Amino acid sequence: MKKLVLLFTVIFALVSCQKESQEIENIDSVDLITTILTQTAQPEFDDQNEGLYRGIFSTYDLSVKGEVILDLGNSKEYQAAVKLHIGGENLSFEGRQIEDIRIDRYVFESPRGSFEVQLDDKRKIVIRNFEFDGKDTYIVAYKERSMVDVSISFGNFTDDGDPLFTGNWDAINKGMTYQSPPAHSTNPVPLMIIEEIIISRNGDIALSTDTAPYNDSFLEPCFYLDTFQHGYFYKVPADPYQEIIAYNQTSTFLGSVCTWSLAHYFFGGAFVYDTPACGTPDATGYGSWSWNGRAGKIFVDRLGEI
């Protein structure tokens, strides 16, 4: 009888531990994602390879896309999370550092896939051995510092003459700003410069390679009627107003110059474009691009955190 009681005690203890473990795991899965996505870069890592990285997480078929946060020791842990705006619920990855005296290496794993991160001496991320949902996937991410955030405009493009020539068109600000011209704001405000354009399609990816890709000044003809020094993102704090404006820009992809124009903002409770006509509704408006004998449209999915 004593053995039987002991057996039931052990079984009860095991069941209780499993239940508690599952409950903790379920709680952690939600809390962990939120914790990773909302953390800020710690000053102690500003001049180190480790820290916080923010960027784009996307499959080439456009079915999954979002903003990725790579926590490389910023919270004293190695972990990652993706805030998806296409393709389902937010997700997280468990990370660990790989012993390597030559380079900083980390591996991140989840039930849906895994990838390896390598950092060079310029804090540039290289992603290797990426598997996710059995699809070709990529990450483009940059270092955040305690006083310098990374911001992203997520978008896509189409080709007017080829319905199969479609892909991602995303713009990144890595922290550079300039002061707004007089017509934009009563008091000058910092506008976040579009520093890099990332395009991808069918397993290929290209980043704009210009030495100074953010130097194209332009006249904004629809809303402000003023000259802007660079294409930019802007969002009013604690207000739904936001905009990405960049008329008559040039960016070099794969050795060829692309001309493009885009102005998209949230105003009067609706998203609208200023190209090709001023105040065009979001449903019918678009930006434009021309590259290597092709031409098409640019659409904005959403602005990331600003």
* Interval 209-223: pLDDT, tens: 987 666 789 999 999
The boundaries of every CATH 2.40.128 domain in the chain are: 31-145
Of residues 253 and 302, more confidence is placed in 253
State the Cα–Cα distance between residues 86 and 64, nearest whole angstrom: 5
Per residue in 153-211, pLDDT (tens digit) is 999 999 999 999 999 999 999 999 999 999 999 999 999 999 999 999 998 999 999 87
- pLDDT value of residue 23: 38
**Greatest mean pLDDT among 70-74, 133-137, 278-282:** 70-74
Closest CA to 37 of 70, 65, 78: 70
Mean pLDDT along residues 21-45: 74
The reported pTM is 0.86
Which residues, 6+ apart, have CB-to-CB distance to 209 below 8 Å?
Answer: 252, 253
- pLDDT value of residue 246: 96
- pLDDT value of residue 305: 61
| pLDDT confidence band for 252 (50 / 70 / 90) | very high
Mean pLDDT along residues 133-162: 94
Of residues 126 and 157, more confidence is placed in 157
Residue 74 has pLDDT above 70, yes or no: yes
Residue 25 has pLDDT above 70, yes or no: no
- pLDDT value of residue 263: 96
- pLDDT value of residue 213: 61
- Report the percent of the chain where pLDDT is more than 70: 88
State the Cα–Cα distance between residues 18 and 25, nearest whole angstrom: 10
Of 13-17, 38-42, 198-202, 267-271, which gets the smallest average pLDDT? 13-17
| pLDDT confidence band for 20 (50 / 70 / 90) | very low
List, in sequence order, the alpha helices (H) in 39-84. none
State the Cα–Cα distance between residues 298 and 177, nearest whole angstrom: 24
Closest CA to 253 of 198, 296, 201: 198
CATH number of this structure's domain 31-145: 2.40.128
Of 12-16, 131-135, 167-171, 219-223, which gets the smallest average pLDDT? 12-16
- pLDDT value of residue 57: 97
- E strand or H helix at 15, and its extent? helix 2-38
| pLDDT confidence band for 121 (50 / 70 / 90) | low
- pLDDT value of residue 84: 93
How much is the mean pLDDT over the chain? 87
| pLDDT confidence band for 26 (50 / 70 / 90) | very low
The pair of structure tokens assigned to 212 is 């100074």
Residue 15 has pLDDT above 50, yes or no: no
- Report the percent of the chain where pLDDT is more than 90: 71
> Would the CA dihedral through 286, 194, 278, 294 be positive or negative?
negative
State the Cα–Cα distance between residues 231 and 216, nearest whole angstrom: 7
